[in-house]
Chain A
Amino acid sequence: MSRVANGYVDYRVSVAFVGTVLKFLAVAPLFPLVLAFYYGESPVPFIATSAVMVALGFGLEQLRGDGDLGNREAFLLVSLSWLVVPLVGTVPYLVAGTGTVGALTVAGFVNALFESMSGFTTTGATVLGTISVDTHGHAMLMWRQLSQWLGGMGILVLMVAILPELSVGGAQVMNQEAPGLSIEKLTPRIQETARALWGIYAAFTVAAAAVYFVIGAVGIAPEMDLYNAVAHALTTMPTGGFSPQGRSIEAFAPAIQWAVMPFMVVAGTNFALFWYVLDGQPGRLTKNTEFRAYLLAIAGFGVVLSALLLAGLGIATAPENVATIPGNLENSLRQGLFQVIAIVTTTGYASMDFNTWHPAAQTVLLFAFFLGGSAGSAAGSIKVVRWVVVSKSMSRSLFTSIHPEAVEPVRMGREAVDESTIRDVFVFVMIFLTLFAVSTVLLYLDSLRTGLELTPLEAMSVAIATLGNIGPGFGIVGPMNNFLPFSPAAKLYMVFLMWIGRLEILSVLVILTPSFWRR
């Protein structure tokens, strides 16, 4: 490896691949571009984005030497891509001056970057003051939706699916990008696996759009037109949470709210399991330990919150725009379940403003922030599989304290989990929680500095909502509010949290260690 630039990491290979990624992504803005023409809105932001992507892409590609995409280069490629793509993704916002982005100021750029990073990482936190197609235009809001859809299954998984040259490093790349313990290779060729995952993802998106549209078209939910159906399908499946509606899913009839729930659940499920179902092995989905724990967690939290709402204990102030909840079983169940699913799957939609909830109910919901969906899904946060491993190894510790000689592997289903994997899980959970705690403190301190009024619960929710790629929190960052009031410094820090959270922390931390660059 002596021929490479710095000796041990051939960063040029990674950077050149980032160029390739950008080049291919230049197709993406064409979709909002078509909408811009259809709705008679300005096409400039999207033409500009495409142009920047192509130009930068070809530029970076010139760096390509004859180096191979090794393990370290794969790490670097993933982290860099998830930095560069959201950076380029700011172009439409900057060009159009969307929302409060305003002119080319530092604060404006930070806002654009926040929105773009929140999009690609499927966080769903926003700095747009008021969200409406009237102010921002159909095309611009669709770009926001599209950025989540691209980020959901993973930009690089998409690249592995498309580019034959990623057949060698592809597995490492996907391993770094896909959430969970490790990727499951479904087919002998990694490219086929990537295609299968993206295929399933796309198919579910089409299904979601069709279901939303049909419910709207038959008149049950007249607000749901084709534009909204597509826009929401694009952010349901990646567990994103952006909505062209200022009041999220509250803007739609209960039928839509019910219809969104199963799709969110699907989006938070390991996509590999659907592949097995298509392969004629439905048992691998229904008997999967994580899937069962995931459903159980949703049901558990859902029942508790629905009960609180039904009894009226969960409501502090009567919410606007929502029918009376206490005493109404359907409404309580719907609101309780919807919020739980939206948070557990880290989608971040809301069917009502849970700022109106009693702090007790909010605290219950805060716990759900830490669950996350399944490994291998589009969800963020810690992931159910890690909690399962943690709880099983805890009960193992209890067992082995009575039987010191007992050899008890931690099992997922019938499969024993590697001891080194268990260690990695504990390390991850510890780092995640530490980062959450530190971030809470930092954001809290910054709010003091800028005179932003924040309660501890709200500060915590800001940290976990961004680190866990969830989106909304409580109080000023509630589901119907936004992150605009934060200082540019705090927003930049949150951009960092979203970035590191999407890549499950370690992938990013690795490239920040000196030993990554040395032997």
Chain B
Amino acid sequence: MRVVIVGAGEVGSTIAESLAGSHDVVVVDVDTERVESLTYSLDVLPVEGDGTDVDTLAEADVGDADMLIASTDDDETNIVTCGAAKVLGDAFTIARTKSPKYLKAWERAQGAFGVDFMVCTDLLTAEAIVGLAGLPTAQDVDTFADGLVQMTEFEIPAESPVAGQTVAEADRFDSLTFVGIIRGDEVIVPQGTTELRGGDDVVAIGSPESMRLFSSSIAPEEQGPEDVVIVGGGEIGFQTARLLEERGFTPRLVEQDEDRARWLAEHLPNTTVLNSDATDQDLLERENVGLADVVVAALENDQQNLLGTLLAKRMGADRAIAVVDTGNFTELFEAVGIDVAVSPRKVTAEEITRFTRARRAENVAIIEGDQAEVLEFEVDADSILVDRPIRESAVDFPESVVIGAITRDGEFVTPRGDTVVREGDHVVVFTETDVLETVTEQL
């Protein structure tokens, strides 16, 4: 597949890097130095120029491209780039936007602005944060099938009552399936007799309700969080607060800029907006941030986020979630005591990846360290699953593939051995990265 990526910033170059192995990638950027450095670091064709300029796009041969990904830092540039690309050919256009305002318009008429798919980075990040904030011990949360199905990666603490239990003992919930256990670098497909250990990451797929139940069985002493403090009122912080408000929370939000704080306060009726420096210890003490259940750091850069969450943790906050822009820092953050590091680039990559596959998955979640993926497919007539009980079809696909959930006509179906899959069903599948290719063809 021929892919043109406009904007070689952090996001663009990450996507370019992940695609360069299996696709022909052209990268367009206005910055001469960036273009030059890409020439040597990645096996891609760099083109210098403005992505909104038809001449530049023609030079990148967008007319013959299968896909165009506009991932500059500027929303308007990305949207115009997609529009311009549509003039030249019919490449599948993906625009990355930060502000959800364009997404709102696009969702009303998909294909608006000449954009075939719009990825709203900040909104996705906020959704991820909110999902994590609601589930103690969760490391990664993704929703599938319009929210009916949720994939969650839980870390089992050593002192958890679940540690030491077998999968059969721990899985007392009807609409929940354990699909994978990540132990160090190893991915284990759980059997009924597999024992869960402290420090394991368990990937579970099921209804959102069952996730909450399982979460409280892992950490029974943790009540559902009530007191959430967000530091940093950028778009991610704002969206996080807004989504929390929708779920009935009354979060507190710390923002340094006075005008922005006012704007936030006006737009978040159930949030207490505090106008202060997030690293001001006096403020954190006065506002009893140490008593908070969850502290989310969504400041301008990684260093501030690290500092903000470390401070909060030190003061006694139960759980700290930090936004991390630089992908490699995720593990570092978690190593120094931040409970979860959320990477906006990862959530963006997850969204974009599903279009670069031979067959398009409805949704993709990448499990930590790229060892495994959770995919959502719509079952068609050619699938090996169709009209057979899962027990029979399971023999035909690789061992490290687990069907975690099925939705049929908007209803959740728990997959069991005798469940017969029908055409049109949506299946949510856990698969190791090694067998990804085989699986996508078979299912």
How many angstroms between the C-alpha atoms of A415 and B264 in the bound complex? Answer: 12
Judging by beta carbons under 8 Å apart, are A409 and B266 in contact?
A: yes
Q: Which 5 A-B pairs have the closest CB atoms?
A: A416-B266, A405-B274, A407-B265, A405-B276, A407-B273
A406 lies within 8 A of chain B by Cβ: yes
Q: Which of chain B's residues has its CB closest to A414's CB?
A: B269
How many angstroms between the C-alpha atoms of A406 and B283 in the bound complex? Answer: 11
Q: Which of chain A's residues has its CB closest to B273's CB?
A: A407
B47 lies within 8 A of chain A by Cβ: no
Q: Mark A378-413, 1 if CB is under 8 A from B, else 0.
A: 000000000000000000000000011111110100
Judging by beta carbons under 8 Å apart, are B262 and A409 in contact?
A: yes
B353 lies within 8 A of chain A by Cβ: no
Task: Find B274's partner among A406, A409, A411, A416 (CB 8 Å cutoff).
Answer: A406
- From residue B242, how far is it (CB to closest CB) to chain A in Å? 13
Given A403-B287, A409-B265, 17 other A-B contacts at CB below 8 A?
A403-B274, A404-B286, A405-B276, A405-B283, A405-B287, A406-B272, A406-B274, A406-B275, A407-B255, A407-B261, A407-B262, A407-B273, A408-B265, A408-B272, A411-B269, A414-B269, A416-B265
- From residue B283, how far is it (CB to closest CB) to chain A in Å? 6
Q: Which chain B positions have C-beta within 8 A of A404?
A: 286
Q: Which chain A positions have C-beta within 8 A of B287?
A: 403, 405
Q: Mark B262-288, 1 if CB is under 8 A from A, else 0.
A: 101110010011111000000100110
Q: Mark A269-294, 1 if CB is under 8 A from B, else 0.
A: 00000000000000000000000000
Q: Which chain A positions have C-beta within 8 A of B273?
A: 406-408
How many angstroms between the C-alpha atoms of A405 and B273 in the bound complex? Answer: 8
Which residues of A in the span 123-181 have a Cβ within 8 Å of any Cβ on B?
none
How many angstroms between the C-alpha atoms of A406 and B265 in the bound complex? Answer: 9
How many angstroms between the C-alpha atoms of A403 and B276 in the bound complex? Answer: 11
Judging by beta carbons under 8 Å apart, are B265 and A405 in contact?
A: no
How many angstroms between the C-alpha atoms of A104 and B261 in the bound complex? Answer: 65
Q: Mark A79-114, 1 if CB is under 8 A from B, else 0.
A: 000000000000000000000000000000000000
- From residue A415, how far is it (CB to closest CB) to chain B in Å? 8
**Interface CB pairs A-B, < 8 A, 23:** A403-B272, A404-B286, A405-B274, A405-B275, A405-B276, A405-B287, A406-B272, A406-B273, A406-B274, A406-B275, A407-B258, A407-B262, A407-B264, A407-B273, A407-B274, A408-B265, A408-B273, A409-B262, A409-B265, A411-B269, A414-B269, A416-B265, A416-B266
Residues of B within 8 A of A (CB): 254-255, 258, 261-262, 264-266, 269, 272-276, 283, 286-287
- From residue B238, how far is it (CB to closest CB) to chain A in Å? 13
- From residue A419, how far is it (CB to closest CB) to chain B in Å? 9
Q: Which chain A positions have C-beta within 8 A of B286?
A: 404
Q: Which chain A positions have C-beta within 8 A of B269?
A: 411, 414
Q: Which of chain A's residues has its CB closest to B254's CB?
A: A405
Q: Which chain B positions have C-beta within 8 A of A409?
A: 262, 265-266
Q: Which chain A positions have C-beta within 8 A of B283?
A: 405
Q: Which chain B positions have C-beta within 8 A of A408?
A: 265, 272-273
From B258, B264, B266, name the one whose CB has the most chain A CB atoms within 10 angstroms. Answer: B266
- From residue A414, how far is it (CB to closest CB) to chain B in Å? 6
How many angstroms between the C-alpha atoms of A473 and B114 in the bound complex? Answer: 69
Q: Which chain B positions have C-beta within 8 A of A406?
A: 272-275
Q: Which chain B positions have C-beta within 8 A of A405?
A: 254, 274-276, 283, 287
How many angstroms between the C-alpha atoms of A406 and B287 in the bound complex? Answer: 10
Q: Which chain A positions have C-beta within 8 A of B272?
A: 403, 406, 408
From A404, A405, A409, A416, name the one whose CB has the most chain B CB atoms within 10 angstroms. Answer: A405
Q: Which of chain A's residues has its CB closest to B276's CB?
A: A405
How many angstroms between the C-alpha atoms of A406 and B255 in the bound complex? Answer: 10
How many angstroms between the C-alpha atoms of A405 and B258 in the bound complex? Answer: 10
Q: Which chain A positions have C-beta within 8 A of B275?
A: 405-407
How many angstroms between the C-alpha atoms of A252 and B273 in the bound complex? Answer: 56
Q: Which chain B positions have C-beta within 8 A of A407?
A: 255, 258, 261-262, 264-265, 273-275
- From residue A470, how far is it (CB to closest CB) to chain B in Å? 35
Q: Which chain B positions have C-beta within 8 A of A416?
A: 265-266
How many angstroms between the C-alpha atoms of A108 and B304 in the bound complex? Answer: 79
- From residue A301, how far is it (CB to closest CB) to chain B in Å? 29
How many angstroms between the C-alpha atoms of A404 and B262 in the bound complex? Answer: 14
Q: Which of chain B's residues has its CB closest to A416's CB?
A: B266
How many angstroms between the C-alpha atoms of A314 and B196 in the bound complex? Answer: 77
How many angstroms between the C-alpha atoms of A407 and B150 in the bound complex? Answer: 36
How many angstroms between the C-alpha atoms of A411 and B283 in the bound complex? Answer: 25
Q: Which of chain A's residues has its CB closest to B262's CB?
A: A407
How many angstroms between the C-alpha atoms of A411 and B262 in the bound complex? Answer: 12
How many angstroms between the C-alpha atoms of A408 and B269 in the bound complex? Answer: 9
How many angstroms between the C-alpha atoms of A411 and B265 in the bound complex? Answer: 10
Q: Which chain A positions have C-beta within 8 A of B261?
A: 407
Q: Which of chain A's residues has its CB closest to B261's CB?
A: A407
Q: Which chain B positions have C-beta within 8 A of A403?
A: 272, 274, 287
How many angstroms between the C-alpha atoms of A409 and B271 in the bound complex? Answer: 11
Q: Which chain B positions have C-beta within 8 A of A414?
A: 269
Q: Which chain A positions have C-beta within 8 A of B274?
A: 403, 405-407
How many angstroms between the C-alpha atoms of A407 and B259 in the bound complex? Answer: 10
- From residue B253, how far is it (CB to closest CB) to chain A in Å? 9
How many angstroms between the C-alpha atoms of A416 and B274 in the bound complex? Answer: 16
Q: Which chain A positions have C-beta within 8 A of B262?
A: 407, 409
How many angstroms between the C-alpha atoms of A408 and B276 in the bound complex? Answer: 14
How many angstroms between the C-alpha atoms of A403 and B289 in the bound complex? Answer: 13
Q: Which chain A positions have C-beta within 8 A of B266?
A: 409, 416
- From residue A288, how far is it (CB to closest CB) to chain B in Å? 16
How many angstroms between the C-alpha atoms of A407 and B258 in the bound complex? Answer: 9
How many angstroms between the C-alpha atoms of A416 and B267 in the bound complex? Answer: 8
